[in-house]
Amino acid sequence: MRNACIAITIDDQQWSTIYGLHHVSAAAALRDLGVDSVVVRAPSPVRSASNPRDVLADRPWVESLQNAGLRVFVAIDLFDDRALLERFPDARPVNALGEQSWAPPLDGAICPTHDGVIELLSAHVATLLDVLAPDGVTLRSAHFPGFWPDWTIEPDYPFSGEDQWCFCDRCRAAFAADAGITLSGVSIGSDAAGILALHRQPWLIWRARRLTLAIDRVLTASGARSRGIETMLATLPFVAADFGGIDVRRTIGGQDLAMLAGAIDTFELVTEMQVLNRHPVWLGQVVREAIRQLPGSRSVLCALQISPHHQGRNRASQIDVGDLSVTADAIRQAGADGLVLSSWTDLLADQFAGGRKTALVREIIAAWS
């Protein structure tokens, strides 16, 4: 087995704004916790293009983390960004019912086949690499639209045409040309129904390939590839058998792990158990199936959720140390290559509430080394 990777996400500035840490002492605290990598959220591409100092402001923080011996991944949302949609209104995706995604939580969803979006994202990642000099990039929201945290069982999430994306003019025309077919053109809904009824498999493969190509274009055009930057992908955690065997990661999200293995080094399965309302037993299938779909050279990490994030849909209202311990054991026993602790802000809050989870996390990390 390769060396385990223990990463932690830092999606906000609370370590400074609430807890008053200086970036040097914050980096030292993370090193003392025992993690080897941190995943820090980068400014959004439109914000950084209008104010490059936003990116520059993060440089001392990244430098302190690296000086503390930690590997730094910068995280960007590829296809979920309201400001990007304002810049490129024709990147707003369309579902199989012919509806555009105006309502939250999908109001920031972006069609992955838009050239202008891909070029702007590539320039943004190039700026992040130049200014912040990170060790890796973590790509989030790199899938076709879908608010997958709501894809719980008990209650089962009901999939429908509302969840099938993207049938915008650009996607329909490009698929028809690539498949050598003619669409009726009567309406978006009738074109979508025809594609799903008569050309379902080529359509699913085409979507997964277009998503992989979009990711590969961003990594190549930004220089991430030529610089040898490590690439991590936030990956939908579901197994093919979930939801009656419809393989939602591929057929709804468009993420095909075997295809993506050509572009991505490390796959973070976003196994947020409280959000997804799942039992730890499920984790064994999740990890083993991902490992089966990937070449042995690719790493599989699992998210370890520290505190509750969403309510409703029969979700638990808390995560106690027992839940954390059982989940971490299940991840390790399933053969994952490591953890992505989510998040540092939650652990900082725990330290002011007695630190029981923090103490357990130290034990969990020690068990991996």
Taking CA atoms, 367 is separated from 297, 325, 362, in Å, by 23, 11, 9
Q: Which residue has the tokens 């610089």?
A: 227
Residue whose CB is less far from Zn ion, 179 or 258:
179
Cβ at position 194, least distance to Zn ion in Å: 16
Indicate whether 273 belongs to the interface with Zn ion (CB under 5 A). Answer: no
Among 10, 168, 303, 365, binds Zn ion (CB under 5 A): 168
* 224: CB partners within 8 A, 6+ apart: 125, 129, 137, 218, 231
Of residues 283, 281, 252, 279, the one with CA closest to residue 269? 283
What is the phi/psi pair of residue 179, to 5°? -85, -10
Provide the minimum distance between the beta carbon of 90 and Zn ion in the complex, in angstroms, as a whole number. 9
Candidate list 8, 166, 236, 324; residue touching Zn ion; CB under 5 A: 166
The DSSP secondary-structure symbol of 199 reads: S
Nearer to Zn ion, 111 or 291 (CB): 111
- 229 lines the binding site for Zn ion (CB under 5 A): no
Give the nearest distance from C-beta 255 to Zn ion in angstroms: 16
Residue 348: count of CB within 10 angstroms of its CB: 18
Q: Provide, rounded to whole angstroms, the least separation between the CB of residue 106 and Zn ion.
A: 13
Of 44-52, 58-66, 160-168, 182-190, which segment contacts Zn ion by CB under 5 A? 160-168
Return d(Cα 293, Cα 123) in angstroms, integer.
31
Tokens of 120: 């702007």
- Taking alpha carbons only, the member of 235, 247, 318, 333 closest to residue 283 is 333
Considering beta carbons, is residue 45 or 112 the nearer one to Zn ion? 112
User: Which residue type sits at 43?
Assistant: P
Under rule CB under 5 A, residue 171 binds Zn ion: yes
If binding is defined by CB under 5 A, does position 137 make contact with Zn ion? no
- Please give the helix or strand (H or E) that residue 243 lies within, else none: helix 242-245
Least Å distance between CB 234 and Zn ion?
21
* Residue 195 makes contact with Zn ion by CB under 5 A: no
Query: At 190, phi and psi to the nearest 5?
Result: -75, -35
Please select the residue that binds Zn ion; options are 85, 111, 263, 330, rule is CB under 5 A. 111
- The yes or no reply on residue 248 touching Zn ion (CB under 5 A) is no
Q: Are 294 and 267 in contact (CB under 8 A)?
A: yes
**Cα 222-51-125 angle, rounded to 5 deg:** 15
Determine if 360 is a binding residue for Zn ion (CB under 5 A).
no
The distance of closest approach from Cβ of residue 95 to Zn ion in the complex, given in angstroms and rounded to an integer, is: 10
Q: Is the dihedral of CA 21, 22, 28, 30 positive or negative?
A: positive
Least distance in Å: CB of 358 to Zn ion?
44
Q: Which two tokens stand for residue 369?
A: 């080394």
Piece of the chain touching Zn ion by CB under 5 A; list 166-174, 213-221, 288-296, 303-311: 166-174
For Zn ion, which stretch binds (CB under 5 A), given 137-145, 168-176, 243-251, 297-305?
A: 168-176
Contact call for residue 65 and Zn ion (CB under 5 A):
no
**Closest to Zn ion by CB, 168 or 319:** 168
User: Which residues of this protein are in contact with Zn ion, per CB under 5 A?
Assistant: 111, 166, 168, 171
